[in-house]
Amino acid sequence: MSDPGAADAADASAFERVGGEAAVRALVDRFYDLMDLEPGYAALRAVHGETLERARDRLFWFLCGWLGGPQHYVERFGHPRLRARHLPFAIGIRERDQWLACMNQAMHERGLDQGLAQRLHEAFFNTADWMRNRGG
Ligand code: HEM
C-alpha cells in the first residue's frame, strides 16, 4: 500500500517545503538583515538604496510565486521582467556571488532542508547569473 503522507511530501511545492508564507517572509528578512550586517556582502549592499524595505516586500512577494505558492508579485506588478528591472544596477560576478552567498547563509540559518536548499541554490544561480549586466 502506498503511504499517503509520503506521496504528499513528494508532491509538495518548494513553497510548502520551505514552510509557507511566514517562512518565506522570515527567509527574506534574514537575507536582507545579513546583507546589512555582514561585511562580506558590502558590494551587494552598496548596489541597493538607503533602505531595504521596498526590496524586502518585493522579494517576498516574488519568491512566494517563484516557489510555487501564491502569485502576490504578479498580481501587483504583472510580469516580473527581472532582468529589465535590474538593469539600473551594476551587476557583475562579484554582486552575483554575494547575492548567492547571502541567500545560502539565510537558507542555512533558517534551517531549510539541505537537499531543498541545494536545489534552490541551483535555481537561484541561474536567475542571478542571467541578471549580470556588466563584466567582472
Ligand atoms: C545577482 C545579484 C542581484 C543584485 C545585485 C540585485 C539587486 C537588486 C536591487 C538593487 C533591487 C532594487 C531594490 C529596491 O527597489 O529597493 C532589486 C530588486 C529586486 N530583486 Fe534583485 N538583485 C540580484 C539578484 C536577484 C535574484 C537572483 C532575484 C530573484 C530570485 C531577485 C529578485 C528581485 C526582485 C523581485 C526585486 C524587486 C523588483 C521590482 O519590482 O522593482 N534579485 N534587486
Pocket-testing residue among 36, 58, 96, ligand 1, by greatest number of atoms within 8 A of Cβ: 58
CA angle, corner 87, sides to 85 and 92, nearest 5? 125
Residue 86 CB less than 6 A away from ligand 1? yes
pTM of the model: 0.92
pLDDT per residue as tens digits for the range 54-85: 999 999 999 999 999 999 999 999 999 999 99
The DSSP letter of residue 90 is -
| Residue 63, SS3 per DSSP | helix
Given a cut of 60, is residue 8 above it in pLDDT? no
Identity at 58, one-letter amino acid code: R
Q: How many CB atoms lie within 10 A of CB 73?
A: 21
Closest CA to ligand 1's atom 21: 86
pLDDT at position 16: 97
pLDDT at position 12: 80
pLDDT per residue as tens digits for the range 15-48: 999 999 999 999 999 999 999 999 999 999 999 9
- Sign of the Cα torsion 82, 87, 89, 93 reads positive
Identity at 133, one-letter amino acid code: N
